[in-house]
């Protein structure tokens, strides 16, 4: 059984990064050294939207960014994986986490690869992550775990914290390619759902995770929004001060749908009707066959309060 988790214990008010970032003002960078790192083709480009020639060209350009010969490169379409661990370790991450996640996400949700070849930078520890995020990308990492940078066409990860955040961030470029104008609640909710995940019955399946205690506190305090408000939030509002609660509420709404066996149906219904239902609220009501919205919100909150903080699946009652 596949099982991925981020080593995250800080609580709900710290949230995994959102989809896009803009680069801060340019700083002095470490001048890259040209290295002779040979790329490993772990996956076949024949199964990708990109050709081997395109990957080869990308790798030549990529090598100019490498600050030392300590990095290994593995091609796992549609990504190029770069890590400062031994080649066999980087290859294991590429095959066991990235390849698995891509296959399972495409199985249920996505038909198109990201529009560009994206780099997945896997740094071996916190010191390496902080150092190279600054020297290569001029970035100050927004979380200790990892983030997706649209500006750099890269996923930038502290892989020592586990594979959960990596799976989360893989969701974002696939959403961009497959679900134009996807609202933030679904984008982050789906990514967050798979921070703690397993393979069950051949499909990717989210577990209860570290966001649950904070969500329970928010429910008790009356901080969770009605679902019509949550789904209608624009990007700026979603990522405001209460974003930790927004992430968690979105995650556990999707978790509820998953446990009812309705998540994939909801995603496909929403995608097919996004022009007339840009927030997904109408699709949610339809798929869940909700007649009394207020009653559903109460029932969902009771359901969340009954979840256990264990890394196992619970049937939906």
Q: Report yes or no: 176 and 18 within 8 Å, Cβ to Cβ.
A: no
Give the pLDDT of residue 30: 31
- Let me know how long the chain is: 317
Give the pLDDT of residue 38: 60
Q: Report yes or no: 168 and 254 within 8 Å, Cβ to Cβ.
A: no
Question: How is residue 66 written in tokens?
Answer: 């490498």
Instruction: Give the contacts of 127 (CB within 8 A, at least 6 positions apart).
Output: none
Q: 222 phi and psi, to 5 degrees?
A: 75, 30
Give the pLDDT of residue 43: 60
Give the pLDDT of residue 5: 55
Give the pLDDT of residue 241: 76
254: nearest Cα among 234, 284, 275 = 284
Q: Report yes or no: 71 and 133 within 8 Å, Cβ to Cβ.
A: no
Give the pLDDT of residue 26: 32
Which residues are bridge partners to 6 per DSSP?
Answer: 162
Question: Measured between alpha carbons, how far is 29 from 137 in angstroms, rounded to an integer?
Answer: 9
What Cα–Cα distance (Å) separates residue 5 from each residue in 101, 195, 273? 13, 6, 33
Helix (H) or strand (E) run with residue 63 in it? helix 52-63
Question: Measured between alpha carbons, how far is 216 from 191 in angstroms, rounded to an integer?
Answer: 20
Q: What is the pLDDT along the chain (317 residues), one digit of tens a residue?
A: 566 654 443 343 334 333 333 333 332 333 333 333 566 666 655 556 788 999 999 999 999 889 877 899 999 999 999 999 999 999 999 999 999 999 999 999 999 999 999 999 999 999 999 999 999 999 999 999 999 999 999 999 999 999 999 999 999 999 999 999 999 999 999 999 999 999 999 999 999 999 999 999 999 999 999 999 999 999 999 999 799 999 999 999 999 999 999 999 999 999 999 999 999 999 999 999 999 999 999 999 999 999 997 544 443 33
Instruction: Give the contacts of 301 (CB within 8 A, at least 6 positions apart).
Output: 219, 224
Give the pLDDT of residue 69: 78
Bridging pattern class, strands 203-206 and 3-4: unpaired
Domains and CATH numbers, the chain: 3-178 (3.40.30), 208-305 (no CATH)
Q: How far is CA 226 from the centre of its chain?
A: 24
Residue entry with tokens 């979603």: 238
pTM tops 0.75, yes or no: yes
Give the pLDDT of residue 35: 38
Question: Measured between alpha carbons, how far is 38 from 74 in angstroms, rounded to an integer?
Answer: 9
Give the pLDDT of residue 68: 79
């Amino acid at each position: 059984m596949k099982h991925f988790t981020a080593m995250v214990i800080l609580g709900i008010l710290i949230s995994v990064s959102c989809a896009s970032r803009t680069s801060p003002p340019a700083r002095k960078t470490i001048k890259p050294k040209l290295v002779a790192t040979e790329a490993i083709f772990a996956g076949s480009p024949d199964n990708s939207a990109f050709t081997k020639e395109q990957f080869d060209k990308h790798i030549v350009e990529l090598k100019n960014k490498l600050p030392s010969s300590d990095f290994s490169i593995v091609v796992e379409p549609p990504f190029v994986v770069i890590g400062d661990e031994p080649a066999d370790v980087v290859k294991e991450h590429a095959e066991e986490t990235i390849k698995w996640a891509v296959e399972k996400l495409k199985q249920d949700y996505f038909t198109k690869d990201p529009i560009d070849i994206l780099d997945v930078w896997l740094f071996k520890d916190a010191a390496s992550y902080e150092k190279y995020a600054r020297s290569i990308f001029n970035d100050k990492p927004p979380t200790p775990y990892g983030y997706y940078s649209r500006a750099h066409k890269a996923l930038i990860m502290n892989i020592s914290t586990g594979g959960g955040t990596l799976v989360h961030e893989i969701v974002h470029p696939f959403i961009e390619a497959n679900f134009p104008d996807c609202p933030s609640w679904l984008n982050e909710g789906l990514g967050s759902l798979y921070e703690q995940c397993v393979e069950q019955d051949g499909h990717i399946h989210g577990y209860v995770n570290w966001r649950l205690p904070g969500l329970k506190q928010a429910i008790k305090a009356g901080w969770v929004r009605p679902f019509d408000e949550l789904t209608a939030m624009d990007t700026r509002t979603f990522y405001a001060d209460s974003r930790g609660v927004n992430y968690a509420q979105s995650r556990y709404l999707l978790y509820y749908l998953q446990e009812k066996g309705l998540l994939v149906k909801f995603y496909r219904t929403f995608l097919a009707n996004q022009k007339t239902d840009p927030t997904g609220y109408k699709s949610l009501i339809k798929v869940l066959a909700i007649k009394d919205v207020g009653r559903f919100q109460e029932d969902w909150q009771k359901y969340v309060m009954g979840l256990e903080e264990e890394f196992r699946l619970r049937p939906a009652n």
